[in-house]
Amino acid sequence: MSGTIRQQKYGKLLLRELSEIFQQDKKGILGNLFVSIAEVRVSPDLSVAKVYISMMMEADKKKALDRLNSHKSEIRKALGLRIRNQARIVPELIFLVDEVEENAMKMDALIKSLNIPPDSEASKGKK
């Protein structure tokens, strides 16, 4: 997480509150989606929050992201109700897919698929 301490604290607050909103999801915003919030990055003026969503079990991530974006106003309203006593501004939410875990899995699979022969000089020197 980068930015000032103020941005980091506000980002953590948003992460916690958005996580609870998604967990409680009584209005069916997410449907049967299983999402988790990986990170929230806030602009210096605290008016924009980039929310990185992890969707490991979801096959069609674009469709899931479109669903989140179509309900953005409802999510922002619920967030505003939760943070109204702690913040003056309810930031504009920008949902992005967090690809860190997927990239790590791809790298792990790639490393496992490598066929590296043992170094003959190193094995002779060890004997």
Strands (E), 17-98: 36-42, 48-54, 92-97
Looking at residue 73, what is its pLDDT? 93
What is the sign, positive or negative, of the torsion defined by CA atoms of 36, 65, 33, 30?
A: positive
Measured in residues, the chain has a length of: 127
For the chain, domains (ranges, CATH) are 5-126 (3.30.300.20)
Rounded distance between C-alpha atoms, residue 74 and residue 36, angstroms: 18
How high is the pLDDT of residue 8? 93
- The answer to whether the CB of 74 falls within 8 A of the CB of 29 is yes
pLDDT < 50: residue spans in the chain:
none
Residue 95's pLDDT is 94
